[in-house]
Structure 1
Amino acid sequence: MKEVGLQYISQGKTPQEHLDNIKNACKAGCKWIQLRLKEVDMATYLNTALQCRNICDQYDVIMIINDNVSVAKAVLADGIHLGLSDMNPRGARKILGDNFIIGGTANTIENCLQHSKDGVDYIGLGPYKHTITKKKLSPVLGIDGYTSILTKLKNQNLELPIIAIGGIIEKDVAALMQTGVSGIAISGELTNQVNLKKKIESIKNIMV
């Protein structure tokens, strides 16, 4: 799996806004995109995902689909991200095969250990703090939560890439990287940003 680094989780009031924001993030240098559509019908999700695939191909960007395994398979996405209440990663692996990246959301050390057993390629650990982009929010972790969980994982010699998620902005990145996470997923901070290229370069420099 390629370096995870900075991941943009799409936002928008309409599927077209998601696509516009994804294209802007790709143009500005983001190399991981997660298409996160909620409450749309299957045809709309499929059509939007196909357009997203074209954008990501144009900019040589990794494309992850949120939740929907059948859409991920149909559009030949690079991977799928599964929430705690979504399909089990083992089931997704049977459908998608070994070449797909499979990520899973985690909020506790127990979630992380289970994901490891289920064969995920990376873990999205969070939320770091409160975020309005998610309706059913797990308990907020904060820096102390990340430090505790990552220390326990290290003690158990578990070396899965851990991506910090949930309400993260640029000023949070340095402290999060010091906890030992492999990457950062950002949504709101990279949506409707006036100088997105400068913002992404600044965040990437902090992550080095």
Structure 2
Amino acid sequence: MVTPLLGADGRPVVTSTLSMTAKMRRIAADPRVALAAAGRKQHAQRPAVCRGRIAHLPAGREPPPHVSEIPMTRTHSGRTLRPIKRTMLVTDLGFLAYWGATVLGLISVGSDEFLQQWNWSFIGLDLAAIGLGLVGLALGPRRPVALPMIIVALPLTSAAGLMALNFYLIRGEYSLMWWIPNLWLFAFPIVALAKLFRILALIESAD
């Protein structure tokens, strides 16, 4: 025996009365059957997020393997930025320790008066990078001004490293004692900014 029904699109749907009765009996006997069916329906209608963009999949179709089911939210981005912030904190503290040791006379670029003047000429740029970076990290993600401060501090740090490298290159001096830390100061902010801007672009497209 069949009974014509109208579907969601208005077209007649043919279904078995005996089959419908059996399903209703199963639901009445065990409410978990209804909950499981509702969960499958919600999963079928759930939008998938692909590279930060929402794409609605037809009911009954599973997302392709490259589609991520976890959207790029601000909370998730905060966890993703933790390695950058930790590395930046260590870099800025090391930068600050260098100037502290220089003031105390524990570290010196040499006895040449010109080199000493050149080294001290960086103090304004370096302290600006250190101050903005540490304050931005201390404020945390809840303060809107924190992220812009970090974004400004990173290029300043990279500029300080690049200027020192240019100076050593012009003079033909290749001491690893000075090249390695300045290469780090130059390269790390570039990598950090590239990752930071990529995360911000994903958040922007997801919003």
In the superposition, the TM-score normalised over structure 2's length comes to 0.23
Higher strand share: 1
Task: Compare the two structures and name the one with the higher helix fraction.
Answer: 2
Structure with max Cα Rg = 2
Higher relative contact order (CA 8 A, sep 6+): 1
TM-score of the aligned structures, taking structure 1 as reference length:
0.23
